[in-house]
Amino acid sequence: MSKQDSGRGSAVVIGAGIVGIATGLYLQRDGWQVTIVDSKGPGEGTSRGNAGLFAIGHVIPDAMPGLPAKVPAMLFDRESPLSIRWRYLPRLFPWLAKCLSACTTERATRSTQALTGLLGDAMASYEPLFQSAGASGLIRNKGVLYVYRNSRSFAAAGLEIELKRAHGIRMEILDANGIRELAPALAPVHSHGVFYPDYAHTVDPFVLSQTLGARLAQAGAKFVRTNATGFSFEGDLVSGVQSADSTHKADIVVVAAGAYSRPLAAALGARLPLDTERGYHVTFADPGVALDFPILVADEHFLMTPMAPGLRSGGLVEFAGLEAPPNPALHAMLARQTKRILPSLNTENTSNWMGYRPAMPDSLPVIGRTPKHRNAFLAFGHGHIGLTSAAATGHAIADLAVDRSPQFDLSPFRADRF
């Protein structure tokens, strides 16, 4: 459609990241008049700098049974992919307690089943959006390679690998020679690998978000550059989204503001334990080495992705909230580790970035209606799978808005599960 059919009414989506944009596109396809409210433009927040991987096999929650035993050592290791700024720990403690309580075999099994449903629809949900926006050229279907330094680290990933296999994720197990054949640029320090052929990646997540956002605007959506501050109500319905200088009338409202969603959800009666896993990346503009596909270095927990702006090395998890400045030591560590894995890497022309992954303690996003208002919806908390699951999330929200049954079970993602 070239312009929106506004027969269904007005939909206000709070958040111009990839989840908000994908949700807006699906609502628009159903005939809603869409308004996106965000102080930043399309993709200018966390969606600007992610690692670009469509991780359709990331069905394993971070909250796994072995996590509590690993955390103490990781926090005191200077080369660890996990760090906590100690002054933030008192605020983080309730979130940590809920995360650790989710690290049981029973909870992890249920979460894996839920994520399998969400991610099983991921790329199929994206396809019509890519086609209508002319964005298919930004996608590469090359797979991803996970590498492990030794037998011990490979064995530690055994449960994750077997769960993926059990849930239908295709893979090829590699030895050192197999790794060298697929990725000759890597230093010969990894003894085991797993290649997942069905993963895809984007060559530029920021341009992808902008391209999808441009399609949304072309078809009639409005982008309002302001912060949402609250809501207006008529009885038990939300009637509008408030900002500093205006109220944006709405027949339905979607909160998809990523790490900034918590107070907005609370204003709608959903008090949720959302926090932020701050992620870092370093982009090497002139890397001097070529990778055919992304490579995840399992021991150090970072991903190297070949992109149009250069080779992007991204990952790490830092808990420090939304206000603290980036930690330059983490950028330096990421660059150092990448150079160690890619000895021929040119490190002279780099750029650094830090963003905010919205994280729920049980590793499951919040997707669905608010408990109190039937015309208000929540779509945030996607953690490491925001890019991957954005279209499936948007598709599900659009289904709920017109009382269709979503294509996967939304009950594990409900707001009142805590």
CATH classification at residue 13: 3.50.50.60
Q: Is the pLDDT of residue 4 over 60?
A: no
121 within a domain of the structure (yes/no): no
Question: Are residues 371 and 398 part of one domain?
Answer: yes
- Give the Cα separation of 198 and 141 in Å (integer): 7
CA distance 338 to 192: 18
Whether residue 143 is found in the same domain as residue 164? yes
Given 359, 387, 408, which residue is the final one in a domain? Answer: 359
Sign of the C-alpha dihedral computed for residues 150, 151, 156 and 159 taken in this order: positive
Question: Is 416 exposed, middle or buried (CB count within 10 Å of its CB: 0-12, 13-18, 19+)?
Answer: middle
Output the pLDDT for position 80: 85
Predicted pLDDT of residue 245: 86
* Together in a domain, 174 and 79: yes
> What does the pLDDT look like over 395-414, one tens digit per residue?
999 999 999 999 999 999 99
Residue 382 and residue 263 in one domain: yes
279 plus 269 within the same structural domain: no
167 in the same domain as 112: yes
Q: Does residue 6 surpass a pLDDT of 60? A: no
Place of tokens 């596909």: 293
Q: Which residue has the tokens 């359709």?
A: 56
Structure confidence at residue 66 (pLDDT): 82
Position 72 confidence tier, pLDDT thresholds 50, 70, 90: confident
SS3 for 11-49 is: EEEECCCHHHHHHHHHHHHCCCEEEEEECCCCCCCHHHC
| Residue 26 within any structural domain of the chain | yes
**Helices and strands counted in the chain (H then E):** 12, 21
Instruction: Identify the domain containing residue 185 by its residue range.
Output: 60-116+135-200+274-359
Same domain (yes/no): 279, 266: no
Q: Is residue 89 part of a domain?
A: yes
Nearest alpha carbon to residue 247 among 255, 238, 236, 237: 238
Provide the CATH number for the domain around residue 351: 3.30.9.10
Confidence band (pLDDT; 50, 70, 90) for 10?
very high
Residues 178 and 296 in one domain: yes
- How high is the pLDDT of residue 364? 98
CB of 313 within 8 A of CB of 339?
no
pLDDT of residue 73: 77
pTM over 0.85: yes
Residue 53 within a domain: no
pLDDT in tens, 113-142: 999 999 998 999 999 999 999 999 999 999
Within a domain: 129? no
Q: Which two tokens stand for residue 349?
A: 């022309």
- Identify the band that residue 1 occupies on the pLDDT scale cut at 50, 70 and 90: very low
Q: At what angle do helices 105-120 and 386-401 cross, to 10 degrees?
A: 80
Provide the pLDDT for residue 244: 87
The pLDDT value recorded for residue 348 is 95
**Band of the pLDDT at 2, cuts 50, 70, 90?**
very low
282 with 403, same domain?
A: no
Yes or no: say if 99 and 135 are a contact pair by the CB < 8 Å rule.
no
Query: Average pLDDT of 219-226?
Result: 97
Mean pLDDT value across residues 289-301: 96
192 and 295 housed in the same domain: yes
**Tokens (6 digits) for 299:** 């021991």
Regarding whether 35 and 172 lie in a shared domain, the answer is: no
User: pLDDT band for position 203 (50/70/90)?
Assistant: very high
In-domain check, residue 220: yes
Which residue did the predictor score with more confidence, 68 or 416?
416
CA distance 327 to 374: 41
Q: Of 80-84, 201-205, 349-353, which range is least confident?
A: 80-84
Q: Is residue 54 part of a domain?
A: no
Q: Is residue 122 in a domain?
A: no
Instruction: State the total domains in the chain.
Output: 2
Q: Are 283 and 234 in a shared domain?
A: no
